[in-house]
Amino acid sequence: MSEAGTFRKIIDSPLWLQILVALGLAAIVGLVVDVDTTILGASVYGILNYFGTLFVNALKMIVVPLVVATIIVGVANMAKQEAFGRVGGKTVGLYIATGLISVVTGLIFVNLVSPGHTESAQLLVDSVSVSSAQATVLEKVEGRSSMDIFEILLRAVPANILQAALEVQLLALIFVGVVFGFFMSRLQGSAGDTLRVFWDGVHDVMIMITMWIMRFAPIGVFALVGKVLIQSGWEAFQPLVWFFLTVFLALAVHFFVWLPLLLKYAGGIRPYAYYGKVLRAQLTAFSTASSSATLPVTLDSAEKAGISRKVTSFVLPLGATVNMDGTALYECVVVIFIAQLYAYTAGVDFTIGQQLIVVFLALVTSIGVAGVPAASLVAIALILPAVGLPVEWIGIVLVVDRLLDMCRTSVNVTSDLTISALIASSEKEELEDLRAA
Ligand code: ASP
């Protein structure tokens, strides 16, 4: 076959396959390349960083218009149908239920595996002399208190819409979109019609741009994952292996067991058939570690799987900021892990009561966590002092944070997708391809 033919064949193969191959190649690059490796005089790490940033920038570029248009269109459609209150109530109920299941799974795993009761405890505790990366995180989290949770909710009503858009404050934009969409649906006459057609158009164009950006996903994924593996290297894991495995296993149970069971028994949907259809979104979440940047892909793949725009446009953008099962689980495991290490020096372990407080705080703060990489760390920095643990110890988990971020973001996005399928099913949407026989 000619080279052009081979190239055509690669381009025409399914996107998910291209992304999986890109992941495999990135893993190989992570093994053979280090930060100083150069190719023709250019740093490999630098090149990957460049293309990874380009891809994430492209996704971020459309987030604000996409979220605003999607929410406005979704709410306007729903408000028209009198289903608003019902769907809203069910959605929030499911956000809370899946979040709770997830944190409790994390709690059970961290108690069973007990990664902080280890001989390397002293080693880990000693390692928190401040490195430059840690210093940046500490700078970000310094002076925070648990009162910030209320502040986060306060900011959901922006004093200045333009500023909210400039700073990509998604909760605020969602609030504005909900209010605008609701009143737009009440607007009579040609002005109302024109507005509705306009926002529908904006939304469609944004989805088209998303699909175009996704053509570059294999390159983006290769660059982003390769870069992370070169940077953190596999050695970084050794002292943290058990911690890593605890988070990983707990996330896997939520991803492969609880969410599929919900889909199957609460929604009558074949879980893995659905996962197959939304794999692109799960993989994009994995490589970008950002629910917000993934949102365009999440919306697109849910609609392709047959879920109506009425449901996706409400459940998914809201879910991308407030429904974070993986994040809540991670926060819980990190805090209990640090408490276990602390017990090594102080000699007292957390009581069940204290652990339940952590569960509660993890759930509540995960609502305020932004859908961007490493956002959990800020929430963890709120919880640690609130339960009497040293905030600097957050530095212990930093080396493995990024890889776990990729995993928990996949779980966050999958939970949003699961809930949108459950809502669609309960609203009697057809979803023929996904129904259990
Ligand atoms: N990166 C996560 C997300 O975007 C948030 C976090 O847990 O840090 O969903």
Output the pLDDT for position 324.
Answer: 95
Q: Is 371 in the pocket of ligand 1 (CB under 6 A)?
A: yes
Give distance in angstroms: CA of 375 to centre of ligand 1. Answer: 5
Instruction: Output the pLDDT for position 395.
Output: 80
In the reported structure, the alpha carbon of residue 436 is separated from the centroid of ligand 1 by a whole-number distance in angstroms of: 32
- Report the separation in Å between the CA atom of 362 and the middle of ligand 1, taken as the mean of its atom positions: 13
Considering Cα of 176, then 182, then 187, then 191, what sign does the dihedral take? Answer: positive
| Chain segment 391-433, per-residue pLDDT in tens | 888 888 887 888 899 999 999 999 999 999 999 999 988 887 8
SS3 state at 42: strand
Q: How far apart are CA 383 and CA 145, in angstroms?
A: 8
196 pLDDT tier (thresholds 50, 70, 90)? very high
Provide mean pLDDT across the span 263-272: 95
Q: Which pLDDT value is given to residue 326?
A: 98
Nearest to 295 by CA among 380, 384, 210, 193: 210
Q: For position 136, what pLDDT does the model report?
A: 54
376 Cα nearest atom in ligand 1:
8
How does pLDDT run across 317-375, given as a tens digit for each residue?
889 888 999 999 999 999 999 999 888 777 777 888 889 999 998 998 887 777 888 88
Q: Write the single-letter amino acid at 3.
A: E
The predicted-structure confidence for 131-150, as pLDDT tens digits, reads as follows: 544 555 555 554 444 445 56
Query: Which of 100 and 292 is assigned the larger pLDDT?
Result: 100
CB of residue 401 inside a 6 A radius of ligand 1: no
The finding on whether 408 has its CB within 6 A of some atom of ligand 1 is yes
pLDDT at site 130: 47
Spell out a b/e string for 375-408, using b for 16 or more CB atoms within 10 Å of the CB, else e. Answer: bbbbbbbbbbebbebebbbbbbbbbbbbbbbbbb
Q: Is the CB of 60 under 6 A from ligand 1?
A: no
Model pLDDT, residue 237 = 65
Res 240: pLDDT: 84
Percentage of residues of the chain with pLDDT beyond 90: 40
More confident site: 7 or 329:
329
pLDDT of residue 84 exceeding 90: no
Q: Taking the model in full, what pTM does it have?
A: 0.81
Do the beta carbons of residue 321 and residue 292 sit within 8 Å? Answer: yes
User: Measured between alpha carbons, how far is 264 from 434 in angstroms, rounded to an integer?
Assistant: 10
Whether 409 is in the pocket of ligand 1, judged by its Cβ within 6 Å, is yes
d(CA 268, CA 86): 20
User: pLDDT digits over 374-386, tens only?
Assistant: 888 878 887 888 8
Mind listing the domains of the chain with CATH numbers? Answer: 3-426 (1.10.3860.10)
The H or E element containing residue 396 is none
Q: How far is Cα 19 from Cα 193, in angstroms, rounded to an integer?
A: 41
- For every residue of 250-263, which 3-state class applies, written as one string? HHHHHHHHHHHHHH
Q: How far is the CA of 282 from the centre of ligand 1 (A)?
A: 13
Checking if the pLDDT of 205 tops 50, the result is yes
How confident is the model over 282-308, as a mean pLDDT?
A: 93
Q: Could you read off the pLDDT of 360-370 as tens digits, one per residue?
A: 989 988 877 77
Residue 268 has pLDDT above 90, yes or no: yes
Whether ligand 1 lies within 6 angstroms of the CB of 149 is answered as: no
Q: Which of 52-61, 278-287, 364-373 reaches the highest mean pLDDT?
A: 278-287
From ligand 1's centre to the CA of 392, what distance in Å? Answer: 20
* 328 Cα–ligand 1 center, Å: 10
C-alpha span between 205 and 210 (Å, rounded):
9
- Is the CB of 321 within 6 Å of ligand 1? no
Q: What is the mean pLDDT of residues 23-41?
A: 87
CB atoms within 10 A of CB 77: 21
Residue 391 pLDDT: 82
Instruction: Please tell me the distance between residue 365's alpha carbon and the centre of ligand 1 in angstroms.
Output: 12
What is the gyration radius of the CA atoms in the chain, in angstroms?
A: 22
Q: What is the pLDDT of residue 81?
A: 67
